[in-house]
Structures are given as C-alpha cells and as structure tokens.
C-alpha cells in the first residue's frame, strides 16, 4: 500500500492515477465534485475493489460526458449570465441534459461538458 506522499509522487510522475493498494491503473471514476479550487474525484479499483478519492487542482478533472449522467442526478452548471445553477436532471438528450432548477421555470438544456455532478465533499 502506498502512503499518500508516495501515491502523489507516482501519479504526478506517471501522469496516471493508480490504485494506492495494488498499483493497478484499471480504475473506474465515480462522482466528481468541484470546489472553488479543487476537484474531488472518486475512484474504484477494478482489480482489488479498493475505493479511494483524489483531490486535484481544477485543471485535473476529465470533461463530463453523456454517460456520466442519469436522470435524477443533482448537477451544477453556470448559465449564460454566469450564475451558478443547481438542478436535477429530468431528461437525457443526444447532446444536452434537461435540467430542472426551479419548479417555476422551464427546463434548461445544458451541454454535458458544462455539467458537473454535485457530491458532498
């Protein structure tokens, strides 16, 4: 098992996230939460089932894709007025998700790349 210092230096040196328990790179990414300066990314190792979370600087988060989202997910995005919005996915379309932020408004069609899943940090 790598300690966090060893793990960090391996990840930085290789440019690849690896399992701290068995050093496998066969990882599945889970929820991704974005703070003001950091990204919290959860992983599960496919080889030993070890679960861990990593904190990255804000450039380290992979772009969100359609497959990352499900109806019912809580998501955040920035609207055209640069307001931070939080809502619930009510539909998945080809290029966008339909997001309900406020029951008094219609749905927002938001590109998947602009959506961030909201998780508790």
Binding site for Zn ion (CB under 5 A): 19, 21-22, 24, 45, 47-48, 50
The three-class DSSP label of residue 38 is: strand
In the complex, the smallest distance separating the C-beta of residue 20 from Zn ion, rounded to whole angstroms, is 8
Residue 119 contacts residue 40 (beta carbons within 8 Å): yes
Nearer to Zn ion, 24 or 74 (CB): 24
Nearest distance from C-beta of residue 24 to Zn ion, angstroms: 4
What is d(CA 117, CA 108) in angstroms, rounded to the nearest whole number? 16
Nearer to Zn ion by Cβ, of 16 and 102: the residue is 16
Given the complex with Zn ion, which of 48 and 90 has the nearer CB atom? 48
CB of 2 to Zn ion, least distance (A): 11
Are residues 98 and 111 in contact, defined by beta-carbon separation less than 8 angstroms? no
Strand pairing report for 116-117 and 108-111: unpaired
């Amino acid at each position: 098992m790598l300690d966090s210092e060893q793990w960090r230096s391996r990840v930085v040196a290789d440019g690849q996230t690896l399992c701290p328990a068995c050093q496998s790179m066969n990882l599945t990414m889970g929820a991704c939460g974005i703070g003001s300066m950091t990204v919290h990314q959860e992983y599960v190792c496919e080889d030993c089932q070890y679960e861990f979370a990593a904190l990255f600087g804000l450039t380290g988060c992979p772009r969100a894709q359609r497959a990352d989202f499900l109806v019912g997910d809580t998501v955040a995005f920035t609207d055209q007025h640069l307001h931070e919005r939080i809502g619930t996915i009510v539909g998945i379309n080809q290029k966008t998700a339909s997001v309900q932020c406020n029951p008094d408004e219609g749905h927002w069609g938001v590109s998947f790349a602009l959506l961030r899943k909201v998780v508790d940090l």
